[in-house]
């Protein structure tokens, strides 16, 4: 299949159903009157009606399958949502029940960063469902939460997540998370078993990365996000940028699925869309709990998270929402080993000591899935869970200058590659690559006589301060002799090169944004 | 009222309705079994049942009003959604129909950045509904879109928005937007009337700010966003950060409203929640078009956008979705003058020339609302629409050093305030305040003999490079003698001060993040 196929379930008179199919096909692609659709636009963009089938035993219910040429997607997640279910979400009695993408269109989606295997590796647990709990209720002191985290980890639990109601200031957040992390570590030291703790982040756009940077700096390995509140693509982007295990909370999602004839199928949202958006663990209400999700919907979510999909990793279904101790064996059987079983209130209520309750709950899981792999004893350094540390040296408050070297900072050759577009350059990373919290990096470069930098361009800017000797700087079609303390601003995409024709080394500081694009070497 | 009141419409047996009310009150606040709710938690966090009223003429239908103590909100938009409609969105037959916040809880929400008055000021149009159109269908060439934009502006239209299906690469985006902007300007030069053009931005999280930066650099004054796709708070944050008029597209919103007994009321989503999230113009399907929105729902959306709400500006309702020329007078009467009437396909179909169609459509609006205020002739520089330029000098590529001054850069006294926490300091803003695209600022500071900086701390970092003389730098409880080319990294919240006891001035470069918090002076 080389096209995108989207299937809707509709309620319609038989006489009108093909008109409705055509209406949806236009609504979702070009949203324009028939008279403006040229044959070229028709071929390239408008959805084609592939089939219309009456749903058996449901008079007036049909499924409509439309297909779209692959170009329409532009490899964008947001456009996928818009295409399958943007405007048509506002139609009554039209429910999106299936989306099929060919492998080559699926490939550009990142999917889960860790997936089932990655999360298992972090935990060193391979042969059974994972046991998770939530820190609740709001109103407990941070010390009480830390105590719960400690007890759960001590009892052999696998994953602790914040309750999604734990909202407060950044200071309050840091206080709680630091205490809980510390408590989990204390338990890990006793048990030798790793336990993951996922704080819930729901901060305003302006501040949200500050939260991520902070948890990352504390060694947190995963996060709980509510994708329909902060945005499906925002959640994806943040989890990916900070390389965190991404557990998705279903807050504010229900309206897409609860109505029988509107919205979309459960598996499309909690399965397909979440997985494409990088969710590693998808939390949803289990059937038989406080919510009215049906058994077959829950199973289809789990299937969708595991289904082979191009190069995408599979993700964990995480049934939750009022699950009881007595249901654990059933849940194990339903969801099988690649699942996360989230038990909050019932675990807290089970006995006086949470560590003992956790042991009881876990024992019940182990009855169904005896652990065959021995614990490795200590928490291991697993690359997939490590901070993406580019640091070559340690964070210093005072970096002492010593004849164009700096104490505690290595001097290295610039860009060791096969590329010979540069010559005679050394580099010292001064600030930015050692864990500093700035949004920029400060480097020192020095060009020896007849040396030169690559002739290149990039989206990010360079700010240059000359500190030693003088050099020739070419920017676009301009040329400068840059002398000591001259400052240069190289604007985005300006082609530039720095050269030295003098015996005295040409040294300069260069400041760049921390997050920056790769240079394009021009010749 | 000092509490938060949330009203739900539910379908329930009479005998069970108070249990359901209690269930919702717990679900939305602490999500925990009854046994764990201490009296303190009950008082501080759990929702209180204020009233349960049967809906007349609907057996089995009730409204439930719950109230929450104000502390629960933590002044966060995302928490407001979570509180009113997070988990309960997954309940069948529970519809959120009303949210009331006391003024003091509303005040922290930014609301529309421009609002009705701000948008009117940008356009110089005060006495009639605004006429808007969409660039469509996808498949037209950029030149064709530019031509449509030109014709619409020439015909006296007010607002042009991209169709939400115009998705492509960043290069394609820039190409289209630049052509359309240029076309609009050309028309403006002829007519003397301003016309706003709102590009649609739907890029991935990693790239989305690049789009905003670029449109801002091109002088674009507004943007079309699909908040339920990119995230309600992400859209709010972006529109606010870039000070753009924010038009909200309803793609992917419908499932919250179309089902009669699930989700939430139309006015809550397209009115209340959108307005709190900074929407200036809320696009929704008008009744009688391609979508099945009811007349009273549309009117309630409009009312909600205009209703007095603490200090929040009112926003424009923007009915759309298959509106016809023949409906214009009716729409004028329904929505009155403070509305934006969005006509896409029907305007394109109306006649051979879009400029003439636009004139016809506008004439029909003017019949209902004769324009009493004369056009001011030329596009005026209106502060609310200007870029927040803090620039004191112009962007330079090469900033030549001249004895610790720089050509084209002013040397000023540091922090001219009544505060006397510093002395003998001058400052030169080198890079960052003149429109440079870096994420950091480069400044030069110089401390004369016996001068000193404020003793202060802040969340952002300082990176300091000594370039002249030497000075004493205090960081926390450490003290350094910083000499030429020494580099200092001042970490977040480290108390610091720089002093000079020598005759030779102590000069240093200081690099800081562009977006940074205000320092706290310690003593």
| Alpha helix segments (H runs only) across B199-293 | 205-217, 227-230, 232-241, 266, 274-276
Domain A411-521 class, CATH top level: mainly beta
- Interface check A358 vs B, CB under 8 A: no
Confidence band for A377, pLDDT divided at 50, 70 and 90: very low
**Chain A residues within an 8 Å CB radius of B251:** 81-82, 86-87, 89
- Give the tokens for residue A346: 């019932």
- Interface check A474 vs B, CB under 8 A: no
Residues 115-134 of A with CB under 8 A from B: none
Q: Cβ of A484: how many Cβ atoms within 10 Å?
A: 14
pLDDT tens track for B261-287:
999 999 999 999 999 999 999 999 999
pLDDT at A237: 96
- Interface check A471 vs B, CB under 8 A: no
Q: Which of A41, A92, A460 sits opposite B292 (nearest CB)?
A: A92
- Give the tokens for residue B179: 């052509």
Task: Enumerate the CATH 3.20.20.110 domain ranges in chain B, comma separated.
Answer: 115-374
Contact A399 B463 (CB under 8 A): no
Q: A interface mutation test: which of B137, B472, B484 has the most A CBs within 10 A?
A: B137
pLDDT at A414: 60
| Alpha helix segments (H runs only) across A103-169 | 103-106, 115-123, 142-154
Judge contact between B274 and B226, C-beta under 8 A.
no
Judge contact between A391 and A411, C-beta under 8 A.
no
CA-based nearest residue in chain B for residue A164? B82
Sign of CA dihedral B406, B407, B413, B416: negative
Contact B344 A32 (CB under 8 A): yes
CA distance A248 to B300: 33
- Interface check A144 vs B, CB under 8 A: no
Contact B137 A85 (CB under 8 A): no
Q: Cβ of A481: how many Cβ atoms within 10 Å?
A: 13
CA distance B334 to B315: 16
pLDDT tens track for A35-59:
999 999 999 899 999 999 999 888 8
Identify the H or E element spanning B105: helix B103-106
Q: How far is B371 from chain A (nearest CA, A)?
A: 31
Task: Enumerate the CATH 2.60.120.10 domain ranges in chain B, comma separated.
Answer: 411-521
Residues 429-448 of B with CB under 8 A from A: 430-431, 436-440, 442
pLDDT at B411: 81
DSSP A80: H
For residue B158, the Cα-to-chain-centroid distance in whole angstroms is 21
User: Does residue A376 register a pLDDT over 60?
Assistant: no
Backbone φ and ψ for A447, nearest 5 degrees, come out as -110, 125
DSSP A191: H
B137: preceding bond cis by omega (within 30 degrees): yes
Task: Enumerate the CATH 3.30.70.150 domain ranges in chain A, comma separated.
Answer: 4-106
pLDDT at A487: 92
Long-range CB contact pairs, A383-388, < 8 A, 24+: A384/A114, A384/A118, A384/A121, A384/A122, A385/A114, A385/A118, A385/A121, A385/A122, A385/A221, A385/A245, A387/A216, A387/A219, A387/A243, A388/A243
**Chain A residues within an 8 Å CB radius of B264:** 255
Confidence band for A316, pLDDT divided at 50, 70 and 90: very high
How many residue pairs from chains A and B have C-beta atoms closer than 8 A? 414
Q: B interface mutation test: which of A242, A463, A491 has the most B CBs within 10 A?
A: A463
CA distance A340 to A286: 12
- Give the tokens for residue B218: 């091109």
**Chain A residues within an 8 Å CB radius of B342:** none
- Interface check B147 vs A, CB under 8 A: no
Place of tokens 């209400």: A285
- Give the tokens for residue A203: 């901060």
User: Does residue A167 register a pLDDT over 60?
Assistant: yes
A449: preceding bond cis by omega (within 30 degrees): no
**Chain A residues within an 8 Å CB radius of B37:** 137
- Interface check A483 vs B, CB under 8 A: yes
Contact B463 A485 (CB under 8 A): no
Confidence band for A71, pLDDT divided at 50, 70 and 90: confident
Instruction: Give Rg (Cα) of chain B.
Output: 28
Mean pLDDT (chain A, rounded): 89
Neighbour-count burial of A168, counting CB atoms closer than 10 A to its CB (0-12 exposed, 13-18 middle, 19+ buried): middle
Q: A interface mutation test: which of B246, B258, B298, B516 has the most A CBs within 10 A?
A: B258
CA-based nearest residue in chain A for residue B84? A252
Q: How far is A151 from chain B (nearest CA, A)?
A: 17
pLDDT tens track for A176-220:
999 999 999 999 988 888 999 999 999 999 999 999 999 999 999
ipTM more than 0.85? Answer: no
Contact B45 A139 (CB under 8 A): yes
Contact B230 A204 (CB under 8 A): no
pLDDT at A378: 30
- Interface check A477 vs B, CB under 8 A: no
User: Does residue A67 register a pLDDT over 60?
Assistant: yes
CA distance A442 to B466: 13
Q: How far is A31 from chain B (nearest CA, A)?
A: 7
- Give the tokens for residue A159: 């994953």
Contacts of A308 (CB under 8 A, 6+ apart): none
CA distance B448 to B470: 11
Mean pLDDT of A239-244: 96
- Interface check A255 vs B, CB under 8 A: yes
- Interface check B36 vs A, CB under 8 A: yes
DSSP A87: G
Per-residue burial over A410-431, b = 16 or more CB atoms within 10 Å of its CB, e = otherwise: eeeebeeeeeebbebbbbbbbb
The percent of chain A in helix, strand and coil, each rounded to the nearest 5, is 35, 25, 40
**Chain B residues within an 8 Å CB radius of A290:** 23, 27
Domain B115-374 has CATH 3.20.20.110: yes
pLDDT at A429: 87
- Give the tokens for residue A197: 């703790």
- Average pLDDT, consecutive stretches of 10 residues, N- to C-terminus, chain B (523 residues): 87 96 95 92 93 91 94 86 94 96 88 96 92 94 97 96 93 97 94 94 96 96 97 96 97 95 96 97 93 93 96 96 91 95 94 94 90 36 26 74 87 56 83 86 93 85 94 91 92 89 95 84 68
Backbone φ and ψ for A122, nearest 5 degrees, come out as -60, -35
- Interface check A273 vs B, CB under 8 A: no
- Give the tokens for residue A337: 């080993």
- Interface check B369 vs A, CB under 8 A: no
Q: How far is A164 from chain B (nearest CA, A)?
A: 8
pLDDT at B247: 98
User: Does residue A383 register a pLDDT over 50?
Assistant: no
pTM above 0.90, yes or no: no
Neighbour-count burial of B376, counting CB atoms closer than 10 A to its CB (0-12 exposed, 13-18 middle, 19+ buried): exposed
CATH architecture of the region A115-372: Alpha-Beta Barrel (3.20)
pLDDT at B73: 83
Contact B241 A206 (CB under 8 A): yes
Contact B442 A465 (CB under 8 A): yes
CA-based nearest residue in chain B for residue A29? B165
Judge contact between A487 and A450, C-beta under 8 A.
no
- Interface check A496 vs B, CB under 8 A: no
- N- to C-terminal Cα separation, chain A: 42
- Interface check A207 vs B, CB under 8 A: no
pLDDT at A393: 65
Contact A482 B398 (CB under 8 A): yes
Contact B440 A438 (CB under 8 A): yes
pLDDT at A94: 96
**Chain A residues within an 8 Å CB radius of B430:** 463, 487
CA distance B300 to B313: 17
CA distance A202 to A441: 29
Question: Which homologous superfamily is A4-106 in?
Answer: RuBisCO large subunit, N-terminal domain (3.30.70.150)
CA distance A1 to A3: 6
- Give the tokens for residue B343: 């006509």
Task: Enumerate the CATH 3.20.20.110 domain ranges in chain A, comma separated.
Answer: 115-372
- Interface check B97 vs A, CB under 8 A: no
CA-based nearest residue in chain B for residue A284? B90
- Across A261-265, A390-394, A429-433, least confident range: A390-394
pLDDT at A358: 96
Q: Which of B89, B136, B169 sits opposite A252 (nearest CB)?
A: B89
- Interface check A491 vs B, CB under 8 A: yes
CA-based nearest residue in chain A for residue B240? A206
Locate the DSSP E strands across A188-276.
196-198, 222-225, 245-248, 263-264
Place of tokens 């289209």: B176
Q: How far is B523 from chain A (nearest CA, A)?
A: 22
pLDDT at A282: 98
């Amino acid at each position: 299949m080389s096209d995108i196929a989207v299937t809707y379930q509709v309620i319609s008179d038989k006489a009108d159903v093909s008109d409705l199919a055509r209406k949806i096909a236009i609504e979702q692609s070009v949203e324009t009157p028939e008279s403006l659709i040229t044959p070229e636009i028709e071929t390239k963009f408008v959805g084609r009606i592939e089939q219309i089938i009456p749903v058996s035993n449901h008079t007036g219910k049909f499924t409509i399958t439309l297909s779209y040429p692959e170009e329409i997607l532009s490899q964008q997640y947001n456009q996928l949502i818009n295409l399958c279910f943007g405007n048509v979400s506002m139609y009554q009695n039209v429910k999106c029940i299936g989306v099929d993408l060919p492998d080559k269109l699926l490939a550009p989606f990142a999917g889960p960063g860790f997936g089932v295997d990655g999360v298992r590796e972090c935990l060193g647990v391979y042969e059974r469902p994972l046991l998770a709990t939530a820190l609740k209720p709001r109103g407990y002191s941070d010390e009480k939460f830390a105590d719960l985290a400690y007890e759960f980890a001590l009892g052999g639990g696998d994953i602790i997540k914040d309750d999604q109601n734990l909202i407060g200031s950044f200071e309050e957040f840091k206080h709680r998370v630091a205490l809980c992390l510390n408590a989990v570590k204390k338990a890990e030291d006793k048990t030798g078993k790793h336990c993951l703790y996922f704080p819930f982040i729901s901060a305003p756009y302006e501040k949200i990365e500050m939260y991520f940077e902070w948890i990352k700096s504390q060694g947190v390995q995963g996060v709980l996000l509510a994708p329909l509140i902060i945005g499906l693509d925002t959640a994806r982007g943040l989890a990916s940028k900070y390389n965190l295990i991404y557990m998705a909370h279903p807050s504010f999602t229900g309206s897409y699925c609860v109505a029988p004839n509107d919205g979309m199928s459960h598996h499309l949202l909690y399965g397909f869309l979440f997985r494409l958006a990088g969710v590693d663990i998808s939390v949803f209400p289990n059937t038989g709990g406080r919510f009215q999700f049906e058994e077959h919907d829950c199973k289809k979510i789990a299937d969708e998270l595991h289904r082979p999909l191009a190069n995408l990793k599979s993700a964990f279904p995480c049934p939750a929402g009022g699950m009881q101790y007595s249901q654990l064996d059933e849940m194990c059987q339903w969801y099988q080993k690649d699942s996360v079983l989230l038990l909050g209130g019932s675990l807290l209520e089970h006995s006086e000591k949470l560590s003992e309750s956790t042991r009881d709950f876990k024992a019940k899981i182990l009855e169904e899935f005896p652990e065959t792999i021995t614990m490795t004893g200590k928490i291991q350094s697993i690359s997939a869970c490590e901070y993406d540390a580019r640091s070559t040296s340690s964070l210093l408050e005072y970096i002492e200058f010593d004849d164009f070297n700096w104490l505690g900072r290595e001097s290295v050759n610039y860009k060791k590659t096969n590329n010979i577009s540069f010559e005679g350059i050394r580099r010292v990373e001064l600030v930015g690559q050692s864990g500093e919290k700035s949004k920029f990096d400060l480097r020192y470069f020095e060009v020896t006589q007849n040396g030169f930098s690559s002739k290149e361009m990039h989206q990010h800017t360079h700010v240059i301060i000359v500190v030693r000797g003088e050099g020739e700087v070419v920017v676009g079609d301009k040329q400068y002799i840059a002398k000591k303390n001259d400052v240069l601003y190289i604007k985005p995409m300006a082609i530039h090169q720095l050269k030295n024709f003098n015996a005295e080394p040409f040294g300069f500081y260069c400041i760049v944004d921390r997050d920056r694009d790769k240079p394009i070497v021009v010749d």
